[in-house]
Structure 1
Amino acid sequence: MCGRYASSRSPEDLVEEFEVLDPRLESAVVPPSWNIAPTDPVHAIMERTPRTDDDPDREGDPVRQLRALRWGLVPSWAKDEKIGSRMINARVETVAEKPAFRKAFASRRCILPADGYYEWYVLDQPDAKGKPQKQPFFIHPDDSGVLAMAGLYEIWRDPSKPEDAEDRFRWTCTVLTTEATDELGRIHDRMPLLVDRASRAEWLDPRRTVADLSSLLTPAQQAGLTAYPVSAAVGNVRNNGPELVAPLALADPDDGQETLL
C-alpha cells in the first residue's frame, strides 16, 4: 500500500508541470510536507467541466484544475466521513466493481503529485523483544522529477451542515495501487500506479470510458524509481522536514546485517 508520502513542490510549480488552466491558488495552497499521512490535505490535479448560469448541466470541455483535497476517500453515500481514514488506497484489480470507488473510477479521476513515497520493509532479524523490525524506505524518481500517482476523488456532503454552509462539502481522494514485483516488491507487496506524461490528458478526462483506463497506468517498478533506507523518524507523523528523505548508509553485508538493494 501507499500509506505515507512526500510532496514539497509549490502550487505554482505544479501548475506549470501539469499545465493547469484553473489553478485555484487561493484555495489550493498545501504546505510542503515530507511526511503526508492519511486525512492530511494534499494537492490534486483533475479536470472538471465548469458550471455556469448559462450551462447548469456542465456541458462543454473539461478544464484542468489544481485543488486541495483530503487524503482518504469518503464515498458520496457514506454516513460518516471517518470512513475515509480506511480508504487511502484503492486496488486497481477491484476498483471498477467496489461500491466505494466505482463511480469515482468512472468519472472522477485525478493525479496526486509527490516527491516520492515510503514503504516499510520487515527485516528477518527481530528486535531484542522478539518483535519484527521494520526499516522505512523512500522510493522516488531517478531524475528527482514529480511522481504522478494515479488517484480518484469524491465529493461528500456533510449531512450535519446547512444547505448554505460554505464547508458542507468534503473533497477527498485515494491512491490507486497494484501488486508490486521485482526489487520494489521485496520492500512491500503493493505499490502505487503512476500516470506518465503522455497519458495525463486521457486519464484525467472525465468523458473517457472505463474500458481501457488500466492501459494508461504504469506500475511503479516500471517507472525508473530508486529506493533507499531512511530514518525511522518518518514513522511518527509529528516529524516533518527534508531530513526524513535523507538516505541512510546501507549496512555492510559483512557485519551480519541485512542489505536489501
Structure 2
Amino acid sequence: MCGRFARRSTQEVLADWFGVELEDMPWFAPDYNVSPQSTQPVVRLHADRGKPEFALMRWGLVPYWAKDAKIGYSTINARAEEAAAKPLFREAFKKRRCLIPTDAFYEWQQLNAKTKRPFAFALQSGEPYAFAGLWERWKPRDGEPLETFTILTTDPNALAERVHNRMPVILEPRDYSRWIEPGDPARPPIDLLRPYPAEKMHSWPVDERVGNVRNNDAELLNERPPENLLF
C-alpha cells in the first residue's frame, strides 16, 4: 500500500513539471508527511479546456454513490489489478483519472512483531514524479461537494520489495497525458499500471518521527542509518 508520502517541490517547480500556468494553481505548501484524509494537490484534466489543472482534494476516495464520506478512510489505495472492475473505483477508473505529485513515498520494513523501520523512496534523478490516481466528486445532502482521490498500487519492484509487498504506481512523464485524458472508456490504459523500474529509484532509511503525522518538516527526508537493517 501507500499510506504516506512527501512533496517538497515548490509550486513553481510543479507548474513547470506538469505544464500548468502558475497563476492558475490553487495555493499549497510543501508537505513532508502527507497522510490520509489530508487535502492535497492533484492534477486532472480541466472539464472545459481539456488541459491539465491542479485541484485540491482529500486523500481517501468517496464514490459519488456513497451514503456518507466515512468510506474514504478505507479507500486511500486501489489495487491496480482490481480497480477497473471493483464497484468502488470502476467509474472513476473509466472517467476520472488523475496524477498525484510527489517527491518521495514512505514504507515501513517489519523487523519483528513490534518494530518497523521507515524508508523513503525517490527517483535517482531527484526529480518530482507522479502517482497514478483516481478522483471522485461526492455531493452530500447538505453542504458543498467533496472531491477526493486514491492512489493506485501494484506489485513492488526489486527495490521496494525489500521493504513491502506493494508499491504505488509511478508514471513516466511521457504517459501523463495518456493517463488523465478520457480516451476510450472501454479501453482504459491498464498497461501503464506496472512497477516502476528499480534502477531508476533509490531508497534510504529515515527518522522514525515520520510515523507521527504531527511531524512535518524537511528533516524527515534526511537519511538516518538505523541498526539491524535486513539488507
Normalising to structure 1: TM-score of the pair? 0.83
Partner of 1:135: 117
Structure 1 CA distance, aligned partners of 2:221 and 2:58?
A: 23
Q: CA deviation at 1:45?
A: 0.7
Aligned counterpart in structure 2 of residue 90 of structure 1, from 49, 55, 78: 78
Partner of 1:225: 201
Contact 1:137 1:228 in 2 (8 A): yes
Taking the TM superposition and a 5 Å limit, the aligned residue runs for 1:21-100 are 24-25=24-25, 28-50=26-48, 62-100=50-88
- Read off the aligned partner of 2:37 and give its amino acid letter: T
Partner of 1:17: 17
Q: How large is the RMSD of aligned CA atoms in angstroms? A: 1.8
Partner of 1:153: 135
Structure 1 CA distance, aligned partners of 2:198 and 2:50?
A: 30
Contact 1:48 1:206 in 2 (8 A): no
Contact 1:22 1:66 in 2 (8 A): no
Unaligned 5+ segments in structure 2 are none
Contact 1:196 1:217 in 2 (8 A): no
Partner of 1:200: 176
Partner of 2:219: 243
Q: Are the structure 2 counterparts of residues 145 and 223 from structure 1 closer, same or farther at C-alpha, using a change threshold of 3 Å? A: farther
Partner of 2:90: 102
Q: CA deviation at 1:258?
A: 3.1
Count, aligned residues? 231
Contact 1:23 1:67 in 2 (8 A): no
Q: CA deviation at 1:154?
A: 0.3
Q: CA deviation at 1:11?
A: 2.6
Structure 2 CA distance, aligned partners of 1:247 and 1:259?
A: 16
Contact 1:233 1:244 in 2 (8 A): yes
Partner of 1:55: none
Q: CA deviation at 1:31?
A: 2.1
Q: Secondary structure at the match of 2:159?
A: helix
Please list the CA deviations of residues 148-173 of structure 1 after superposition, one character each: whole Å capped at 9, or x if unmatched.
Answer: 11000000012122xxxxxx111100
Q: CA deviation at 1:212?
A: 5.0
Please list the CA deviations of residues 10-53 of structure 1 after superposition, one character each: whole Å capped at 9, or x if unmatched.
Answer: 3332221111259642xx22221100000111111111321xxx
- Read off the aligned partner of 1:7 and give its amino acid letter: R
Instruction: Among all aligned residue pairs of Structure 1 and Structure 2, give the percentage whose two residues are the same amino acid.
Output: 35
Q: CA deviation at 1:194?
A: 1.3
Q: Secondary structure at the match of 2:84?
A: coil
Q: Secondary structure at the match of 1:78?
A: coil
Aligned counterpart in structure 2 of residue 116 of structure 1, from 94, 104, 115: 104
Aligned counterpart in structure 2 of residue 172 of structure 1, from 143, 148, 153: 148
Asked which structure has the greater CA Rg, the reply is: 1
Q: Are the structure 2 counterparts of residues 22 and 240 from structure 1 closer, same or farther at C-alpha, using a change threshold of 3 Å? A: closer
Normalising to structure 2: TM-score of the pair? 0.93
- Read off the aligned partner of 2:114 and give its amino acid letter: P
Structure 2 CA distance, aligned partners of 1:118 and 1:12?
A: 24
Aligned counterpart in structure 2 of residue 188 of structure 1, from 137, 161, 164: 164
Contact 1:23 1:65 in 2 (8 A): no
Q: CA deviation at 1:200?
A: 1.1
Contact 2:179 2:189 in 1 (8 A): yes
Deviates more, 1:105-114 or 1:203-212: 203-212
